[in-house]
Amino acid sequence: MNPSNLSIVASEGHTDATTTTAVVTISTSSYELNISFRLDEIQQLPRAKAARSADDDSVELGRCGNTPVFWSTTDDHINVFVGGDDHTPDFGIRLPIWALDAVIDELEFLGLGLPANSP
């Protein structure tokens, strides 16, 4: 994948008395994927780096529409699966591992990133 073709942008989502959300748009010239995150999910995003596909492991963080999003890693890539589970997704993309860092950086720029005392 051509890294210059990949765009990752975060924007504020819905906020009310009990829920703060953000939307991350991951896109190329071929697709656009919008993932909504609750604040507690944003704070768990670094866990995705430890979720190994080879170990049949993934973390469920965020939603695309009303569908769960699963994250896992393979070598130096992050896998993003949209569907009822991570074994039979409706849609999946494989991104360079730095894309997860870019997602986290975008959310931190909005002030919705990790707590100050997180690693």
Residue spans of the domains in the chain: they are 3-109
For residues 98 and 19, give the distance between their C-alpha atoms in angstroms, rounded to a whole number: 28
The predicted structure's pLDDT at residue 115? 55
* E-state strands within the chain: 7-15, 20-27, 32-38, 59-64, 67-74, 77-82, 91-96
Residues 6+ apart with CB under 8 A from 22: 10, 11, 12, 13, 36, 37, 42, 107, 110, 112
Q: Would you give the DSSP letter of residue 57? A: -
CB 115 within 8 A of CB 18: no
pTM: predicted TM-score of the whole model, two decimal places? 0.86
pLDDT in tens, 13-53: 876 766 778 999 999 999 999 999 998 899 999 999 888 88
